[in-house]
Amino acid sequence: MRPYIGMTDVPSAEWLRERLETFAAAGGHMLPHQLHAGIMCSYKTLHGLPTKWAAAWPKLEDADAIFIDDERVLNTLHYADYPDDEHPIARTTVRDMRELIRRCSCPIDAIQFDMVWPRIELLDAIKETSGAPRVILQVGKKALEEIGRDIPALMRRIQSYNGCVDDVLLDMSGGTGTAMGASFLTPFIVALRKEHPHLGVSVAGGLGPDTLHLVAPLVSAFPGISIDAQGQLRTSGKSLDPIEAERADAYLRGAIEMFLATVPDGAPV
């Protein structure tokens, strides 16, 4: 599966096509990477429950007004269900996963699980659907804390999903714009590449047009890595605000330039 350069909270198909033009003009066609276009949903928005995100996230039925059919684009649905004080255990069921797919009126290339170690039954339900979307497993701060930030424990957790996971996203931010740490993530990536070489590896956390230097050491060491940006695509850094075209374009140009620097002259991509 191809790596990607990601943007989450894409607002419309027209907006996405404009970013795809930027992607191509900046030399994205010279990379193996796709343009990851992400939209958010959650257990609460799926069930129409009160949440501050309802006004900021699109309805599942409107996904076809955002995603576009283009092999250069990885249309990705991010699904969030984090425990809280009221519900200490994630509530998502297999039925919810099937409803998620049913409600989307367009094909989904990938589904990202923004959950703390989701049950394998949920991933199985996605893999059983028509088209078998790519599954991206977010491993965030809480997930790593739950296993004591232990690398062998992470490898065992990934193994326990029995091939249902296609990519592992290491994200200490969760869309909040908190800066990632390359030195902290490096040993996890090394272990994933060694123990699970078939998996794609992604990183996120505070990435945007002004902070690509944070991920530069990882891109240099692991050119086939994927990256994603969300909070820092706004001047405010707040995920409730719309992402800004100028910041998204600057991020794409900078990211592509960074990845192109890892491609030897004349090498195939």
Mean of pLDDT values over 77-103: 85
Name which of 131-140, 172-181, 233-242 the model is least confident about: 172-181
pLDDT score recorded for residue 105: 72
Task: For the chain, list the domains and their CATH numbers.
Answer: 4-260 (3.20.20.70)
Q: Is the pLDDT of residue 25 over 50?
A: yes
Is it the case that residue 268 has pLDDT exceeding 70? no
Q: What is the pLDDT of residue 54?
A: 85
Pairing outcome for strands 34-42 and 73-80 = parallel
The residue to which tokens 């296993």 are assigned: 147
Q: What is residue 1's predicted lDDT score, i.e. its pLDDT?
A: 86
pTM comes to 0.93
For the chain, give the percent of residues with pLDDT over 90.
75
pLDDT of residue 89: 72
d(CA 22, CA 25): 5
Helical H runs in the chain?
Answer: 13-25, 43-46, 94-103, 120-127, 141-146, 151-159, 182-195, 216-221, 245-260
What pLDDT score does 253 carry? 98
Q: Helices (DSSP H) in 26-162: which residue ranges?
A: 43-46, 94-103, 120-127, 141-146, 151-159
264 Cβ contact list (under 8 Å, min separation 6): none
**What is the pLDDT averaged over residues 108-135?**
92
Burial class (CB in 10 A: 0-12, 13-18, 19+), 14: exposed
The two tokens of residue 48 are: 């129409």
Query: Using 50, 70 and 90 to split pLDDT, how confident is the model at 172?
Result: confident
Average pLDDT, rounded, for the chain = 91
For residues 49-75, average pLDDT: 91
Mean pLDDT (whole number) for 27-41? 96
Instruction: Give CA–CA dist 208/213, Å, rounded.
Output: 10
